[in-house]
Amino acid sequence: MKKAVLGAVAASLLTGPAMAQVATGTMGPLRPDQQQFLGLYKELVETNTVVGVGSCTQAAAQIAARLKAAGFTDDQVIPFSVAEHPQDGGLVAILPGTSATLKPMLLLGHIDVVAAKREDWVRDPFKLVEENGYYYARGILDDKFQSAVWADTLIRMKEAGYKPKRTIKMALTCGEETDTAFNGAQYLSTEKRDLIDAAFALNEGGGGRTDGKGHLLVQTIQVGEKVYQDFKLTTTNPGGHSSAPVPENAIYDMSRALDRISKHEFPAEFNDTTRAFFTKAGALRPDDTGKAMVALTRNLNDAEAMALVNKDKSLHSMLRTTCVATMIDGGHALNALPQRVEANVNCRIFPGHTPAEIRDQLAQVIGNPKVEIAFRRDDKPLAKSPPLDPALIGPMEKLAAKYYPGVPVVPSMSTGATDGVYTGGAGIPTYGVPSVWSDPDGNGTHGLNERVEVKAVYTARDYLFDLVKELAGK
C-alpha cells in the first residue's frame, strides 16, 4: 500500500479547525460476525508472506478453505501459481451474479508483506496483538486488512444466500511489495485476463487520516497513480593510476549528471483527478496554501501560488513528474581512477507521459552523451487514470457520509504505486476506496510495529461490505 497521498490530504486540512464528526478510539465488544472476521484476519496476518521467506500460496490456500466451507464450489475458487515461483501464488474467487448483461466487478488485494525482523520489533511481527485500542502485526494494515475484508465479504454473502446482480470477483495476489518478484496481479492481467475481466476494480490506495488527537480528518478515493520507473545511469572510463589524475573521470561525470537532475524541475500539470483534489482540498484548508491550491486550478502559471504550494513536498510531487537519485556505486580501488560508476534514478511520472519520453528529457538535462541511461525494467504497463465516474464515486461518498459523518471525501492521485497499474493497464478502471484510517505517522507501514486502530478496522469493514453490495446491486 502506498499512503503518500494521504499525507498531502491531511496536510491540506491539519491547519484548520477539526471538521470531522467521527471520533476515533475504543469500541465495545465484538459482534459474532466481527469475531468470525477476526479469526480470518488473524490467520492471514500470522501467516508469513514475505516474498522469498514465507508463502503467499499457503495464505491463499487457507482463505480458499474458508470460502469452500461457506459454500463456494471448486470452480468458484481458483488458486493460481507458476512453477518458477511455487510459494508466490494467489487466489481468484467468484460469486456469480444474476444479470446476464452487467459486467463483473473485481475486488483486488495483495497478501504479500514487507520483511520484518523480530529483533527490531517490540512484538512478534507475525502475531496479531491487541494493545491500547490497536492491532499490531506486519501487514495488519498493508494490505492484509483489505484482503481479509474482501474474503470475509464473499463469505458473509454466500452464507446469507445473497444474490448480487453483478458477478463479484476477488483476486488476492503476491508480489506487490517487491518490484523484481513474480507479481500475481501482473500475471492475471496478462495471462489470465478473462478470469478477472471486470467493469471496474476496487483496490487499496484510498483511506482515512486522523489528526493524531482522536479526530478523523479526511477519507480519500485514489483515482489514478503515477508511473513508476527506475533508470540506470552509467559512466565509464579507462581509468588509471590515481597518482596521475586526468580531467576525464567517471565519478565526476556522474556527479555532474546527478547534480543537473537534482536542479531540474519538470513542468506542473493537472489531470481531472488532481484538479478535483486541489479544488476540494484547497477549499477545505483555511490558510494561504489552501488559497494557493485553488488559485492554481484557475491559473497554473500563477508563480506566487506555485511557490507557496511547492513548499509542501507532497503537493509539489502531485503536480509533476519527479526524478531523484536513490543509489550509487562506483570505482574499484582506493588508489585507482574509477572505470565505472552506476546510479539509480527513480522517477514517478505524471500520467500521460511515457518512460521513454522522460528518459529523453533526462538525457537533455544531463547534456552529456557519455552518460548512458537505461531502463531497469521495461515490461510494466503505463498507469492509466480511471474516470471520475459518478456511478462509482457517488456510492463511495454516500456511504462515507453514513459511516464517517462530516468527514470530507477527496479524490486523489497517488504519487506512489499499487497493483492497480496492472489491472488499469489491462483496461479495468481501478479505484482505491475509502477504508481504515491511520495516524499522521503512517502507523508503521513498511516500518516497525505496524498497527491499525481497532475501531477503524470494524468501521471500515462495515463500510466496505455495504459498498460492495451497493455496487453489485441487489
What's phi and psi for 393, nearest 5 deg? -65, -40
Kindly state whether residues 217 and 265 are assigned to the same domain.
no
CA dist., res. 161 & res. 156, Å (int): 9
Based on the domain organization, do 295 and 391 belong to the same domain?
A: no
Q: Which residues contact 113 (CB under 8 A, 6 or more apart)?
A: 49, 50, 138, 139, 142, 144, 177
Task: Among 349, 375, 401, give the residue marking a domain's end.
Answer: 375
pLDDT at 118 over 60: yes
Using the predicted structure, report yes or no on whether residue 17 has a pLDDT greater than 60: no
CA distance 439 to 208: 9
Q: Rounded to 5 degrees, what angle do the CA atoms 300, 303, 305 make? A: 75
Residues 401, 255 share a domain: no
Claim to verify: residue 161 and residue 171 sit in the same structural domain: yes
Three-state DSSP string of 367-432: CCCCCEEEECCCCCCCCCCCCCCHHHHHHHHHHHHHHCCCCCEEEEEECCCCCHHHHHHCCCCEEE
Same domain? For 90 and 165 the reply is: yes
Last residue of a domain, one of 375, 400, 435: 375
What gap in Å lies between CA 46 and CA 61, rounded to an integer? 14
Angle between helix 32-45 and helix 56-69 axes, rounded to 10 deg = 160
**What distance lies between CA 447 and its chain's CA centroid?**
15
Parent domain of 320:
227-375
**Same domain flag for 220 and 242:** no
Q: How far apart are CA 234 and CA 330, in angstroms?
A: 9
- Residue 54: C-alpha distances to residues 59, 60, 87, 114 (Å): 9, 12, 7, 11
- How many domains is the chain partitioned into structurally? 2
Q: What is the mean pLDDT of residues 303-315?
A: 97
How many other CB atoms are there within 10 angstroms of residue 248's CB atom? 14
Domain check: are 296 and 349 in the same one? yes
Cα 374 from chain centre: 25
300 and 412 in a single domain? The answer is no
Tens of pLDDT, residue by residue over 243-298, are 999 999 999 999 999 999 999 999 999 999 999 999 999 999 889 999 999 999 99
Residues 168-196, mean pLDDT to the nearest whole number: 96
Question: What is the predicted pLDDT for the residue at 28?
Answer: 84
CATH classification of the domain holding 49: 3.40.630.10
Q: How far apart are CA 426 and CA 33, in angstroms?
A: 35
**Mean pLDDT of the region 341-347:** 98
Answer yes or no: do 90 and 216 share one domain: yes
Q: What is the CATH number of the domain that holds 331?
A: 3.30.70.360
Write down the pLDDT at residue 382: 86
- Given 351, 375, 399, the domain boundary residue is 375
Bond prior to 143 in cis (omega within 30° of 0): yes
Least confident of 101-110, 313-322, 375-384, 397-406: 375-384
| Percent of the chain predicted with pLDDT > 90 | 91
Whether residue 22 is found in the same domain as residue 171: yes
Residue 20: which pLDDT band, with cuts at 50, 70 and 90? very low
Give the pLDDT confidence of 386-435 residue by residue, as tens digits.
999 999 999 999 999 999 999 999 999 999 889 999 999 999 999 999 99
How many angstroms separate the CA atoms of 393 and 200, rounded?
12
Do 148 and 9 share a structural domain?
A: yes
What is the percent of the chain where pLDDT is above 70? Answer: 95
Contact 208, 219 (CB under 8 A): yes
Are 246 and 149 contained in the same domain?
A: no
Phi, psi of 17 (to 5 degrees): -70, 155
